[in-house]
Chain A
Amino acid sequence: MKKFLWLIVGIIIVAIIVFMTTQKKQEEPTLAGKTLKLAMDADPVSLDPHVQLSGGMLQYSHMVFDPLVRWTKAMDLEPRLALRWELIDENTMRFYLRQGVKFHTGNPFTAKDVKWTVERLKKSQDFKGLFEPFEGVNIIDDYTCDLVTKKPYSLVLNMATYIFPMDSAFYTGTDETGNPKDAIVKTGPSFALNHESGTGKYRVTTREQGVETVFETFEGYWDDESPGNVDKIVLTPIKNDATRVAALLSGDVDFIMPVPPQDYERVAGSENSQLITMSGSRIITFQLNQNRRPEFKDLRVRKAIVYAVNNEGIVETIMKGTATAAAQQAPVGFAGYKADLQPRYDLEKAISLMKEAGYADGFTCSMIAPNNRYVNDEKISEAVVAMLAKIKIKVNLKTMPKAQYWDQFDAQVADIQMIGWHPDTEDSANYSEFLVMCPNKETGYGQYNSGNYCNPKVDELVLASQTETDPAKRSTMLQDVEQILYDDAAYVPLHWQNLSWAGKKNLNIEPIVNVMNFPYFGDLVID
């Protein structure tokens, strides 16, 4: 027994000694450049930028790659790898490319990389929809190329923000397993999954999915004008909102995104941290399924529901003022925004509309919502259930994780379903194309229209706007769409989610964030 005890004491002492010595080594890391410890709710699912069209992947693309053009904070386009551009004819946009740009492998960047990238985009399952209007790229010389569309298209430059040229030489050929290096594989290993070569400021040096990704500066980066002074970024995904905030407040990380609304006050009030928020363009709505419920075919019932939902109240309490109550799909600044469409909460009116429609005693229906997709999605749906109870509509609510949700959403298992939408094109028409146009399997329009609202006039206007290149005319068309949807109470608008970022006080966050939620970390300055 005694020997055993001594043995344990011995082991502990040895452990402590080992521990001290290893610790010494770790206190040495050089502090030459600034390191940013970044915590997000998720990390990139792959190093291949074309594997998924999602906010997270685009955020990653902006770190490791560079687009031809990118949005500025004021929503103007700013040249990146394309120095300037001009419209040659109605179907052709010519891009003059930046010279002397190198990929992480050292290969020079030329027009053939642009052509190669657009071709790959057209093969990607996620991006091919966005690049459908494009014919392809014609190379004029090493630093000039033409982006050709099939017919006049109003959003060519918007789409150019999605072209992040990849190193065509690096991604050509086959890897050690004999598979082509340019394969876009969603569910298994591929060359591009673990290797990258872009023109961006950062290279990925280590990556352990779901745990940590380390980005380090690429020595040969072209942009010397950028004020950014961050040499190393350590990205840790922290899924739990409360934990992410705690990590910032305790100093474990320097920068977090997104910040949960319930913690805004705490983060802003803390002497070590700052909070930046910005009104976003993701609209949260409920769709009323007219095929499942005959009641929802009645305009008065739909209106009653819209009148009964106090979306300003939800914004104030559940969202803690960190959202903008909505009455239309597109927010301020978008082509289709119409200033006189305002939230219309009026319980009295809702009750009288129900009475008028012959449903004074209400009815029972079902609702589904995700519980880990949008900010406070579960709480919002609960609040709406309580609000509808006031006009005697009893709602059975079921919330579920997003992995289950979309299947149920597509199958239209419930009478009222929640959906949020952020247009990939940063344009008004995109909302309508997916959410309210008549569902059509062949064209793909109305893919997320689980309300089965269908108004030919809306379809006509939206389609016409796609080829209209006069901004003023186009804007009127899209505003008309919003007006019709408003009058028809086509769906229940809730709010536009705010975007939020928080960091330590010595970070200059303000200049690098924007309404697309792609923080340009390359330009980040740490004092």
Chain B
Amino acid sequence: MGTLARIRQSYILYSFVRDWVAITCFIVVCILILISFLSPFIAPHNPYESASINVMNAETPPMWMEGGSSEFILGTDSQGRDLFSTLLFGMRISIIIGCCAVILQAFLGVIIGLVSGYIGGRLDSFLMRMADVQLSFSTMMVAIFLGAIFQAAFGVAMYERFAVVLLVFIIGLAEWPQYARTVRASVLAEKQKEYVEAARVIGLNSARIMLRHILPNTLSPVLVISTVQVANAIMSEAALSFLGLGMPVTRPSLGSLINSGFEFIFSGSWWITLFPGIFLVLLILVINLLGDWLRDVLNPKLYKG
């Protein structure tokens, strides 16, 4: 049976085409990803090109309002950057950080979960205790730690260039326990099964058993968590930037845009907060809905923790 045919007959596809929520979400996610990654081509302005920003345009309202200009569809922020363009670029940063951080989380979490579940004993209890400790410290505290260490090591001037990498590390390191716990739980279940016993009997080494035999069987919960975690990571990034611990002001992400808009909501420039807010919520919402659907399909019993 060819791969194509297998996909066509798969249960996933079957339930996908029959669920209009899933289809809509999928389309919206695709559109959001597409426009944010094509932002250099479709955005009317380039917010990173400092030379094109004119502070004299600051706080222009959206084009349909009095004082608005058709040059700036959704208005401008306090620096005179086109809000729509900045939004697209900001969303791209959010998505990149979200996805990369989740890959890092998954990598760490899966390995630790596998080892912990398969080997067990003292190592297991040590690793799981570490996960507990890690969980007790929110992403924000980890961010302050790593941010401070980074500044001490590389100096202030480098921060702007490496902020994205840094955030990926912060969010990646802060939330691996989610994966580790899930993987460990399913490893514990799989370990009891006969095929693992059989593999051991024929003398395969542990690494091989873990990676080739157990891992594939634990992947579906990992997949489910991953979608939700992407949404969470995007939210963490926004929260960090909101507190001023994330992206620098010159390369705003959605969170930092909302933060800079917060100063202005009392004075009437509501659009600086509202539009990034809408896009952020939309992005997280559709990812969450997709994750929900995926969970129902792959593993109806798994709950979101």
Contact = CB atoms under 8 A, between A and B. Distances in A.
Interface in B233-269: 244, 248-250, 262-269
Interface string B60-96: 0000000000000000001110000000000000000
A438 interface: no
A205 interface: no
Given A316-B56, A317-B58, A318-B78, A382 B249 contact: yes
Interface centre among B56, B263, B267 (most CB of A within 10 A): B267
B157 A366 contact: yes
Nearest to B55: A383
Interface stretch (A4-12, A174-182, A261-269): A261-269
Contacts of A262: 78, 263-264, 267, 269
B183 to A, nearest CB: 39
B54 to A, nearest CB: 7
Contact of B265 (A242, A368, A401): A242
Contact of B263 (A242, A317, A368): A242
B260 to A, nearest CB: 8
Contacts of B248: 397-399
Interface string B141-165: 0000000000000011101110000
Contacts of B156: 366, 368, 398, 400, 408, 413-414
A389 interface: yes
A389 B250 CA distance: 13
A385 B49 CA distance: 10
A424 interface: no
Interface string A259-290: 01011011000000000000000000000000
A354 to B, nearest CB: 13
A246 interface: yes
B53 interface: yes
A168 B264 CA distance: 49
B50 interface: yes
B266 A266 contact: yes
Given A262-B263, A266-B266, A394 B155 contact: no
Contacts of B1: none
A265 B267 CA distance: 8
Interface residues of B, number: 30
Given A242-B262, A395-B50, A414-B157, A266 B56 contact: no
Contact of A399 (B54, B155, B249): B249
Given A241-B263, A383-B79, A398-B159, A390 B55 contact: no
A395 B248 CA distance: 13
A233 interface: no
B50 A266 contact: no
A125 interface: no
A378 B51 CA distance: 18
Given A383-B55, A385-B250, A397-B249, A246 B160 contact: no
Interface in B172-206: none
Main secondary structure of the interface of A (DSSP, over half): helix
A397 B56 contact: no
Contacts of A399: 248-249
B157 A389 contact: no
A398 B157 contact: yes
Interface string A113-143: 0000000000000000000000000000000
Interface string A402-444: 0000001000011000000000000000000000000000000
A371 B55 CA distance: 18
Contacts of A392: 51
B244 to A, nearest CB: 7
A390 B263 contact: no
A317 B157 contact: no
Nearest to B58: A317
Contact of B55 (A242, A314, A398, A400): A314
Given A262-B267, A317-B80, A382-B79, A397 B160 contact: yes
A206 interface: no
Given A368-B156, A397-B249, A399-B248, A263 B55 contact: no
A379 interface: yes
B79 A413 contact: no
Contacts of A385: 50, 250
Contacts of A318: 55, 58, 78
A138 B237 CA distance: 63
Nearest to A391: B51
A379 to B, nearest CB: 6
A388 B244 CA distance: 24
Contacts of B161: 396
Interface string A297-333: 0000000000000100110111000000000000000
A363 to B, nearest CB: 14
Given A371-B244, A382-B79, A386-B51, A398 B160 contact: yes
A266 B53 contact: no
B53 A386 contact: yes
A317 B160 contact: no
A317 B58 CA distance: 6
A202 to B, nearest CB: 31
A184 interface: no
A195 B157 CA distance: 45
Contacts of B263: 241-242, 260, 262
A250 to B, nearest CB: 10
B56 A313 contact: yes
A305 to B, nearest CB: 14
A317 B263 CA distance: 15
Contacts of B59: 317
A396 B53 contact: no
A245 interface: yes
Contact of A379 (B78, B262, B265): B78
Contacts of A383: 55, 79
Interface centre among A265, A366, A368, A398 (most CB of B within 10 A): A398
A427 to B, nearest CB: 33
A396 B157 contact: yes
A24 to B, nearest CB: 34
A6 B58 CA distance: 59
Interface string B27-63: 0000000000000000000000111011110110000
B50 A394 contact: yes
Given A262-B263, A398-B159, A386 B54 contact: yes
A412 to B, nearest CB: 11
The 9 closest A-B pairs by CB, nearest first: A389-B50, A389-B51, A366-B157, A386-B53, A383-B55, A317-B58, A386-B50, A262-B267, A398-B156
Interface of B: 49-51, 53-56, 58-59, 78-80, 155-157, 159-161, 244, 248-250, 262-269
25 contacts: A242-B263, A242-B264, A245-B267, A262-B78, A263-B267, A266-B268, A313-B55, A313-B56, A316-B56, A318-B58, A366-B156, A368-B156, A371-B249, A386-B53, A387-B55, A389-B49, A389-B53, A390-B51, A395-B50, A397-B250, A398-B160, A398-B248, A399-B249, A413-B156, A413-B157
Given A266-B267, A371-B249, A413-B157, 11 more contacts: A241-B263, A242-B263, A266-B266, A317-B55, A318-B58, A379-B78, A379-B79, A385-B250, A392-B51, A398-B156, A399-B249
